C-alpha cells in the first residue's frame, strides 16, 4: 500500500511538472529541398538529391540546425506539390503550409540554373513560422563530381550562416498562481528572436557623455542673438557644428556710439559639453559697414571697418532648442572697442 502511494505521487508530479529543456531542443530543425526542374541532361534527380544531402550535412555540422525526422517524406510531399502545380516550382506559401504540417522550423531551398558552361546554385533559408527569408547564398559550380558538389555546398552554407539570427533560446519564466508558483517553459512561438547586433557607429566608441550629445552637437543650427553694452547688436547666426568645435557665420545690425550699420561676423568657437550646461569660447573677425558723413561735401558715403574679437558663453539644449548667454569684446580699426553682453535662442536642424 505504501509503495502504491509513492508511485501515485511520482506519477502525479510527472504529469504536473513540465519537461526540462535540453540542448537539442534549443536548436531548430531544418530540411533541404532542391528544385527538380530539369536544367540539362547532365543534371538529374540523383545530382539534386546528392546536392541536398551535402547542403544538409554542412548545415548540421555548423551546429546551427538539426535534421528533421523523416525528411525524405517531407521532400516527397514537396515534389508531389511541384508535379501538381505543373509550373516547375513550388510557391513559398505551399512550402510553409507543408512545413507546418511536418513540424519543420526552417527549409533550405536550392535552385540550379545553367550559366554558360557552368551552373549557378542559389539557396535560401526560409523561416516556416514567419515565412521570412532568413539567409541567402549563391555560388557557381561545374557539378562534375561528388567532391565538387560537397565543395559548393559548404561554400553556399558558409555564405548563409553569418546572416542567420541567433537560436531561439528556451527561456524559463515564473508564473504565480495564488500563493504557489511553478516554472513553465513558453512555447517556441512565444519566445522572441534576438536580432543580430548591428555594427556600432563610430560615435558609440566614445564615452557615455559624448554618446549622449554627439547627435546633438554634430548638427548645425540657426541662432538669433542680441547684446547690449557699449554698443547694441542683433544678428542671425548660422552655426556649423562638429562636436567640440564649430564655425559661426553671422549677419546683423550694430549700433555704436558713433555709427550704425550692418555687421558680418566670422567666429571659430571651441565648446565643451556638460550634463546640463555647455561652455564655449572662440575668436573671430567682423566687417562693419555703415554710412559716414563727408565733412567737406556734406554728403554720405559707405564706409567699412574691420574688427577683431573674442567671445565666450554658456548654453543648453532642450528638445533641440538652443538657449544661451554670451559676452563679446570687439576691437575695430576706426571705432572704439566694444563690449556687449547678450542672450541667444535658436534651433538645431
Sheet containing 106-115, strands listed edge to edge, beginning at the edge strand earlier in sequence: 66-67, 29-34, 106-115, 118-127, 132-141
Confidence label for 89 from pLDDT (cuts 50, 70 and 90): low
Q: What is the pLDDT of residues 182-192, one digit of tens each?
A: 444 344 444 44
Fold category of 20-163 in CATH: Rossmann fold (3.40.50)
Instruction: Identify which of 131, 68, 49, 66 has the alpha carbon closest to the alpha carbon of residue 95.
Output: 131
- Residue with grid cell 530540411, as numbered in its chain: 31
Which pLDDT score, from 0 to 100, does residue 28 have? 87
> Whole-angstrom Cα distance, residue 316 to residue 151?
61
CA 342/CA 325 separation, integer angstroms: 6
Q: Give 104's pLDDT tier (boundaries 50, 70, 90).
A: confident
Which residues have C-beta within 8 Å of that of residue 13, sequence separation ≥ 6? Answer: none
Cα separation of 130 and 237, whole Å? 52
Residue 175 pLDDT class (50, 70, 90 cuts): very low
When pLDDT is averaged across residues 15-36 and rounded to a whole number, the result is 64
Q: Please tell me which of 23-37, 192-206, 214-228 the model is most confident about, judged by mean pLDDT.
A: 214-228
Convert the pLDDT of each residue in 287-307 to its tens digit: 999 887 665 666 677 888 999
Percent of the chain past pLDDT 90, that is, above it, reads: 25
What one-character-per-residue DSSP string does 264-333 give?
EEEEEEEEEE-SS-EEEEEEEEEEEEEEEEETTTTEEEEEEEEEEEEEEEEEEEETTEEEEEEEEEEEES
What is the spatial distance between Cα 51 and Cα 84, in angstroms, rounded to a whole number?
Answer: 24
Strands 278-294 and 221-229 turn out to be unpaired
Specify the residue for cell string 528572436: 193
Cell digits of residue 302: 559707405
Q: Looking up cell 531548430, which residue turns up?
A: 28
Least confident of 98-102, 110-114, 206-210, 308-312: 206-210
3-state secondary structure of 72: helix
- Determine phi and psi for 74, rounding to 5 degrees: -65, -40
If you average pLDDT over residues 254-269, what whole number do you get? 91
Taking the C-alpha atoms of residue 290 and residue 284, their distance in angstroms, rounded to an integer, is 20
Q: Residue ranges per domain, the chain? A: 20-163, 215-348
Structure confidence at residue 20 (pLDDT): 44
d(CA 271, CA 244): 5
- What pTM does this model have? 0.41
Whether 144 shows a pLDDT value over 60: the answer reads yes
pLDDT at 298: 62
As a whole number of angstroms, the distance between CA 55 and CA 45 comes to 15
pLDDT at 93 over 80: no
Lowest mean pLDDT among 83-87, 253-257, 277-281: 83-87
Please check the confidence at residue 197 and state whether its pLDDT lies above 60: no
| Res. 62: pLDDT tops 80 | yes
Q: Which of 25-34, 181-190, 223-232, 278-287 has the lowest mean pLDDT?
A: 181-190
Is 213 in a helix, a strand, or coil? helix
Q: Which residue shows C-alpha cell 519543420?
A: 104
Q: Is the pLDDT of residue 265 over 90?
A: yes
Q: Is the dihedral of CA 179, 183, 189, 195 positive or negative?
A: positive
Residue 142 has pLDDT above 90, yes or no: no
Topology adopted by domain 215-348: Porin (2.40.160)
Q: Give the chain's mean pLDDT.
A: 76
CB 121 within 8 A of CB 149: no
Beta bridge partners of 254: 233, 261
Which pLDDT does position 178 carry in this prediction? 41
Amino acid at each position: 500500500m505504501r509503495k502504491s502511494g509513492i508511485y501515485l505521487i511520482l506519477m502525479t508530479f510527472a504529469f504536473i511538472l513540465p519537461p526540462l529543456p535540453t540542448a537539442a531542443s534549443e536548436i531548430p530543425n531544418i530540411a533541404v529541398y532542391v528544385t527538380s526542374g530539369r536544367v540539362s541532361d547532365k543534371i538529374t534527380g540523383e545530382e539534386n538529391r546528392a546536392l541536398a544531402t551535402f547542403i544538409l550535412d554542412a548545415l548540421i555540422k555548423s551546429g546551427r540546425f538539426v535534421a528533421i525526422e523523416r525528411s525524405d517524406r517531407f521532400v516527397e510531399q514537396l515534389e508531389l506539390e511541384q508535379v501538381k502545380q505543373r509550373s516547375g516550382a513550388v510557391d513559398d506559401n505551399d512550402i510553409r503550409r507543408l512545413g507546418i504540417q511536418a513540424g519543420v522550423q526552417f527549409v533550405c531551398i536550392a535552385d540550379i540554373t545553367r550559366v554558360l558552361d557552368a551552373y549557378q546554385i542559389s539557396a535560401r533559408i526560409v523561416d516556416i513560422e514567419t515565412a521570412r527569408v532568413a539567409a541567402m547564398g549563391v555560388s557557381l559550380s561545374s557539378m562534375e563530381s561528388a567532391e565538387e558538389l560537397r565543395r559548393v555546398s559548404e561554400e553556399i552554407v558558409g555564405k548563409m550562416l553569418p546572416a542567420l539570427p541567433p537560436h531561439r533560446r528556451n527561456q524559463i519564466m515564473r508564473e504565480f498562481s495564488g500563493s504557489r508558483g511553478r516554472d513553465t517553459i513558453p512555447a517556441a512561438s512565444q519566445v522572441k528572436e534576438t536580432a543580430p547586433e548591428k555594427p556600432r557607429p563610430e560615435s558609440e566608441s566614445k564615452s557615455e557623455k559624448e554618446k549622449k550629445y554627439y547627435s546633438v552637437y554634430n548638427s548645425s543650427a540657426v541662432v538669433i542673438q542680441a547684446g547690449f553694452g557699449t554698443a547694441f547688436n542683433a544678428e542671425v547666426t548660422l552655426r556649423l557644428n562638429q562636436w567640440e568645435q564649430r564655425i559661426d557665420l553671422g549677419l546683423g545690425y550694430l549700433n555704436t556710439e558713433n555709427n550704425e550699420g550692418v555687421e558680418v561676423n566670422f567666429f571659430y568657437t571651441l565648446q565643451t559639453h556638460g550634463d546640463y550646461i555647455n561652455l564655449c569660447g572662440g575668436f573671430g573677425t567682423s566687417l562693419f559697414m555703415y554710412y559716414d558723413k563727408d565733412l567737406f561735401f556734406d554728403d554720405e558715403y559707405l564706409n567699412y571697418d574691420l574688427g577683431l574679437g573674442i567671445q565666450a558663453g554658456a548654453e543648453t539644449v532642450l528638445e533641440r532648442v538652443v538657449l544661451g548667454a554670451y559676452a563679446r569684446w570687439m576691437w575695430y580699426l576706426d571705432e572704439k572697442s566694444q563690449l556687449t553682453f547678450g542672450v541667444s535662442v535658436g534651433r538645431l536642424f
